[in-house]
A and B are shown apart, each in its own frame.
Chain A
Amino acid sequence: MRKAIAPIVALIVVGAGLATFFALRTSPEPLTSAYFLMDTVLTVKTTGGDAATINEHLHALASNVDSMTSYYKSESETVRVNAAAGKGPVSVSPEYAALLKAAVAMETIDPGRTFDIAISPVSSLWGFTTKDFRVPAAKEISDTLAYSHSDQLVLSDTTVQLRDSRARIDLGGVAKGYSLDVIEEYLHTVKPQPRQVIVDFGGNLLLYSGGRKRDWKIGIRDPRGQGIIGYVRSGDAFVATSGDYERYFERDGKRYCHIIDPSTGYPGTLNQSATVITDIQPMHGAVGDALGKVFFCSTAETQRSLFQAVQGQGTVGIVIVDAAGTPSTLGPITFVPTTTQ
Chain B
Amino acid sequence: MKRSDRITAVVILTAVALVVVSWIIMHRTRGTMAVVRVDSKVVATVDLTSREPQTLHITGALGPLVIVADGKGSIRVTESTCLDHICVHTVPARSPGDQVICVPNRMVITIEGKGNGIDALAQ
Cα(A246)–Cα(B91), bound, Å: 11
The one of A5, A17, A20, A207 in contact with B120, judged by C-beta atoms closer than 8 angstroms, is A207
Complexed CA–CA distance, A2 and B119 (Å): 49
Write the B79-123 contact mask toward A (1 if CB under 8 angstroms, else 0): 000001010000110110111010100101010100011111111
Contact pick for B92, options A20, A221, A226, A319, CB 8 Å: A226
Residue A200 at the chain B interface, CB threshold 8 Å: yes
Task: Give the residue of A23, A243, A246 whose beta carbon is less than 8 angstroms from that of B22.
Answer: A23
What is the total of A-B residue contacts with beta carbons within 8 Å?
118
Interface size range of chain A in the complex: 35 or more
Q: Does B44 contact A (CB under 8 A)?
A: no
Chain A contacts with B in 215-241, Cβ cutoff 8 A: 216-221, 225-228, 231, 239, 241
B106 to chain A, nearest CB (A): 5
Interface assignment of A323: CB less than 8 Å from any CB of chain B: no
Return B10 CB to nearest CB of chain A, in Å: 11
Question: A34 interface residue, CB < 8 Å from B?
Answer: yes
For residue B56, CB closer than 8 A to chain A, the reply is no
User: Across the interface, do A216 and B99 meet the contact criterion of CB distance under 8 Å?
Assistant: no
- Contact in complex: B108, A24 (CB < 8 Å): no
- Kindly identify which residue among A41, A131, A217, A220 contacts B101, using a CB–CB cutoff of 8 Å: A41
A219 to B123, CA, bound (A): 9
| B91 interface neighbour in A9, A36, A205, A226, Cβ under 8 Å | A226
CA–CA, A25 and B103, complex, Å: 38
Please state if B118 and A5 are interface contacts (CB–CB under 8 Å). Answer: no
- Decide: B39 and A16 in contact? CB cutoff 8 A: no
Interface residues of A in 262-284 (CB under 8 A from B): 275
A34-B37, A41-B99, A227-B95 known; A241 vs B110 contact (CB < 8 Å):
no
A213 vs chain B, min Cβ distance (A): 9
Q: How far is the CA of A241 from the CA of B86 in the complex (A)?
A: 19
- Of the stretches B12-20, B47-55, B62-70, the one at the interface is B12-20
Q: Which residue of A lies closest to B91 (CB)?
A: A226
In the bound complex, what is the Cα–Cα distance between A84 and B37 (angstroms)?
39
A243 CA / B117 CA spacing, docked (Å)? 23
B61 to A, closest residue via Cβ: A36
B58 at the binding interface (Cβ < 8 Å): no
From B11, B40, B95, give the contact of A35 (CB < 8 A): B40
Which of chain A's residues have a CB closer than 8 A to the CB of B119? 198, 207, 216-218
Once the chains bind, are A19 and B19 in contact (CB under 8 Å)? Answer: yes
A12 touches B15 (CB 8 A): yes
The interface residues of chain A lying within 8 Å CB-to-CB of B97 are: 200, 219
Across the interface, do A231 and B84 meet the contact criterion of CB distance under 8 Å? Answer: no
Q: Complex Cα distance A41/B26, Å?
A: 31
Task: With both chains docked as a complex, state the minimum distance between the C-beta of A176 and any C-beta of chain B, in angstroms.
Answer: 13
Report the bound CA distance from A200 to B101 in whole Å. Answer: 13
Known pairs A20-B22, A36-B108, A207-B119; list 6 more (Cβ under 8 Å): A9-B11, A16-B15, A20-B18, A35-B40, A41-B101, A217-B120
Closest 8 CB pairs of A and B: A16-B15, A23-B22, A221-B123, A219-B118, A23-B26, A20-B22, A275-B122, A219-B121
Q: Can you list 30 residue pairs at the A/B interface with Cβ under 8 Å? A: A5-B8, A12-B12, A15-B15, A17-B15, A23-B23, A24-B26, A26-B26, A32-B35, A32-B110, A35-B40, A41-B99, A41-B101, A43-B108, A131-B84, A200-B97, A203-B122, A203-B123, A205-B120, A205-B122, A217-B118, A218-B118, A218-B119, A219-B122, A221-B121, A221-B122, A226-B74, A226-B92, A227-B98, A231-B118, A239-B120
